[in-house]
Amino acid sequence: MVSAQTIEKALALHKAGNLQQAELLYCSILEEAPQNHGVLHYTGLLEIHRGNFTKAIEFILKAIDLEQNEAKYYGNLSVAYIQSEKGSEALQAIEAALILEPENLDFIYNKGAALVKSGQLKQAQKIYTSLLEIPSYQPLALAELAQIKTKTNQYDEAIDYYRKAVEKGVNTAQFLTAFSLTLERINHLEEARDIAEKAITQDANFNLARYALGKSLERLNELDTAKQELETFLSNNPESTPRAEALYTYGTVLDRLGKTERAYLAFSEANQLAATSPAYSKLDGAKFLARIDKNLAFFSHERIQKITNSINVSPENSPIFFVGFPRSGTTLMERILGGHPDIAILDEKSPLNSVVSAVHKMTNRNDYPELLESLNETQIIELRDLYWQEANQLTGNLNGRTVIDKHPLKIIELGLAKILFPKCRVLVALRDPRDVCISCFMQPFAPNPAMANFLDFKKIGITYAKTMELWLHYRTALGIDWKEYRYEDLVSDFRNTASEVLEFLGLDWHDDLESFNTRSIGTFISTPSYRTVSSELYTVSIGRWENYTTPIAEINEQLAPFIDKFGYNRGHYSQTEYS
């Protein structure tokens, strides 16, 4: 029979951090008494401390099989599930713990974490808010609320919670690193750097802080130091979760230092890792390309005329649809136009998404876009009303402002836009196709079927060609008013290019347009362009493709017609075009 003293000795070693010796004792105890649920639980706890969460779950489940009335077993099982990113299992375990001990504040706190992992952020927020009333839990609750607000893109509130948590003494390297990354995301760069440095001072072995520091240093143009920090992070984290994100930043640093061959390798590895991630592995980029092909075949001039002529009630107002291929400068122009008091911009939250969903329900058909021919006038008016209802919700109140529905890849849905709003206008951002494709390869986009094509350079070329072929078709088939402008013209001749765009929109110049970069500080911007729109205009990105001629050669055949059509023949930029 195992003595209590032996178990106490093993526990003492465990608590002292001598995990190897503690494990040896636990194993010897279990050899003699394999049904000892207490030691099985402690062994599981040891594996949690080691970061071996799968093993931890196995040991704790064995303990629970032998003893179902120990609340702490379920509590620690929930911790292991949380660390394994298994939110529903964690929630089930912590609920079992709370049945046994409903007033246990540690369990209530862990329930918040389980809710976060299972995506139930509102419920988690309620729990952490209630814990603010308990002084001993207030610092931890503030820290958790900061990270919930970050997850929901409520960055002003997140920063407020981060600061309050720091004031209450929360200063772990993990927390400070999360704080730094949040600050960088809304362009508070000096503070982001300082907080990351504090995290490293707090725990030099917490390697994620190196990534946070490297990220802010790159933004602050301290490239050599950024390179060192990122290399330290990457060399010590061969399989860590943010490795792909760090490689994108590292590639950017190498690109800016002129080490373009190494930069391309970094971007390639980043994209390969992203492609195997759970978020991307479930996506089929071919579906997006097939959607383009179907739209190209369906939206003929004759068919559009037939549908629009069947509608007798024309809308009093129409939005401006602002589109272009990603990385063509739409976010920069959005930030510029956002300074105009008579403009309301829908930042990549186009109501067209809701309209498409409503069309499917309305017709009880899945054959989009062919189903559009079955819509009657009443249904189209209903869809139009749905569009404006959502636009009002997104902007607060339109108050007669010009609505700009900005979403680059909604360029493929301009046929639907024409049916809803026969008099709509379209603003199109252009950029050298070669620079666009290189830039797309360098960015960590949010996963969706379109972006799934951006993880392979050849597929980027194919996607660009198909998308812009559809745009050229729309130019003549839809019978819409449109204007193209060039990113290159905007950064080299800001005032004239912006004035031309305003003229197309029917608006006068406003001096606040020039403060676009300062307005971006402290503001959440949902696209990868958040890095650049807080800076002054610069031309270094023009012609970047010339440093990547080898990969460009692989897609030049796809890009050549558009290089010519859009006036990007070497050394020659023709004037922008209007309809």
pLDDT of residue 18: 79
**Shared domain check, 303 and 256:** no
Mean pLDDT of 532-540: 57
In eight-state DSSP terms, residue 523 is -
Is pLDDT of 285 > 80?
yes
pLDDT of residue 522: 47
Supply the CATH number for residue 270's domain. 1.25.40.10
pLDDT of residue 273: 92
What's the token pair of residue 120? 């139930």
- Going by pLDDT thresholds of 50, 70 and 90, the confidence category of residue 141 is very high
Is pLDDT of 41 > 90?
yes
* Range picked from 148-157, 207-216, 462-471 for highest mean pLDDT: 462-471
Q: Assess contact for 247 and 216: CB atoms under 8 A.
A: no
Is pLDDT of 188 > 60?
yes
**Shared domain check, 462 and 524:** yes
**Shared domain check, 251 and 188:** yes
pLDDT of residue 353: 93
Q: For 536, list phi and psi in degrees, rounded to 5.
A: -65, 160
What's the token pair of residue 8? 């106490």
pLDDT of residue 440: 96
Is pLDDT of 477 > 90?
yes
pLDDT of residue 544: 92
**Shared domain check, 270 and 292:** no
Distance CA 213, CA 217 (A): 6
pLDDT of residue 204: 87
What is the pTM for the complete model shown? Answer: 0.81
Distance CA 126, CA 112 (A): 8
What's the domain count of the chain? 2
In tens, the pLDDT along 7-16 reads 888 888 888 8
CA dihedral 444, 448, 450, 453 (to 10 degrees): 60
- Of 10-19, 79-88, 89-98, 260-269, the one with minimum mean pLDDT is 10-19
Q: What is the Cα 444 distance to its own chain's centre?
A: 8
| Domain assignment present for 63 | no
pLDDT of residue 312: 76
**Shared domain check, 425 and 339:** yes
| Domain assignment present for 62 | no
- Of 162-176, 284-298, 564-578, the one with minimum mean pLDDT is 564-578
pLDDT of residue 23: 85
Q: Which of 252, 276, 300 is the last residue of a domain?
A: 276
pLDDT of residue 519: 45
pLDDT of residue 526: 45
- Residues 6 or more apart whose CB falls under 8 angstroms from that of 540 comprise none
Q: Assess contact for 417 and 352: CB atoms under 8 A.
A: yes
In terms of DSSP bridges, do strands 402-406 and 320-324 run parallel, antiparallel, or are they unpaired? Answer: parallel
Nearest to 270 by CA among 249, 300, 291: 249
Mean pLDDT of 299-308: 92
pLDDT of residue 238: 59
pLDDT of residue 525: 42
| Domain assignment present for 80 | no
Pick the more confident residue, 525 or 289: 289
**Shared domain check, 353 and 240:** no
Q: Which residue type sits at 144?
A: E
Q: Which residues pair with 426 in a beta bridge?
A: 321, 482
Nearest to 555 by CA among 468, 474, 488: 468
**Shared domain check, 331 and 184:** no
Is pLDDT of 241 > 60?
no
pLDDT of residue 302: 94
Distance CA 102, CA 329 (A): 54
Pick the more confident residue, 52 or 527: 52
Q: Which residue type sits at 45?
A: L
Mean pLDDT of 233-241: 72
Q: For 430, list phi and psi in degrees, rounded to 5.
A: -115, 155
Q: How many residues does the chain have?
A: 579
Is pLDDT of 575 > 50?
no
How far, CA to CA in Å, does 516 sit from each of 333, 442, 569?
A: 9, 24, 31
- Of 122-131, 238-247, 297-306, the one with minimum mean pLDDT is 238-247
pLDDT of residue 239: 57
Instruction: Provide the mean pLDDT of the chain.
Output: 89
What's the token pair of residue 312? 């007798």
- Residues 6 or more apart whose CB falls under 8 angstroms from that of 237 comprise 207, 208, 243, 246
**Shared domain check, 307 and 389:** yes
Q: Which residue type sits at 417?
A: A
- Going by pLDDT thresholds of 50, 70 and 90, the confidence category of residue 120 is very high
Distance CA 268, CA 194 (A): 31
In tens, the pLDDT along 391-424 reads 988 887 777 889 999 999 999 999 999 999 999 9
Is pLDDT of 142 > 70?
yes
Mean pLDDT of 106-125: 94
Supply the CATH number for residue 559's domain. 3.40.50.300
Q: For 18, list phi and psi in degrees, rounded to 5.
A: -90, 75
In eight-state DSSP terms, residue 455 is G
**Shared domain check, 491 and 436:** yes
pLDDT of residue 2: 66
Q: Assess contact for 46 and 14: CB atoms under 8 A.
A: yes
Q: Assess contact for 472 and 480: CB atoms under 8 A.
A: no
**Shared domain check, 340 and 267:** no
- Of 234-243, 372-381, 498-507, the one with minimum mean pLDDT is 234-243
Is pLDDT of 533 > 50?
no
Q: Which of 247, 276, 305 is the last residue of a domain?
A: 276
**Shared domain check, 513 and 383:** yes
| Domain assignment present for 455 | yes
What's the token pair of residue 579? 């309809």
In tens, the pLDDT along 22-40 reads 888 888 888 888 898 998 9
pLDDT of residue 4: 80
**Shared domain check, 428 and 304:** yes
Domain ranges, residue 217: 171-276
| Domain assignment present for 187 | yes
Pick the more confident residue, 358 or 308: 358
| Domain assignment present for 268 | yes
Q: Which of 249, 276, 303 is the last residue of a domain?
A: 276
| Domain assignment present for 577 | no
Is pLDDT of 231 > 80?
yes
Mean pLDDT of 55-81: 94
Residues 80-107 as b or e (16 or more Cβ within 10 Å = b) = bbbbeebbebbbbbbebbbebeeebeeb
Helix axes 53-66, 71-83, angle to 10 degrees: 160
Coil, strand or helix: which one is 405?
A: strand
Q: In what order do the strands lie in the sheet with 425-430?
A: 343-347, 402-406, 320-324, 425-430, 481-486
Distance CA 382, CA 380 (A): 5
| Domain assignment present for 516 | yes
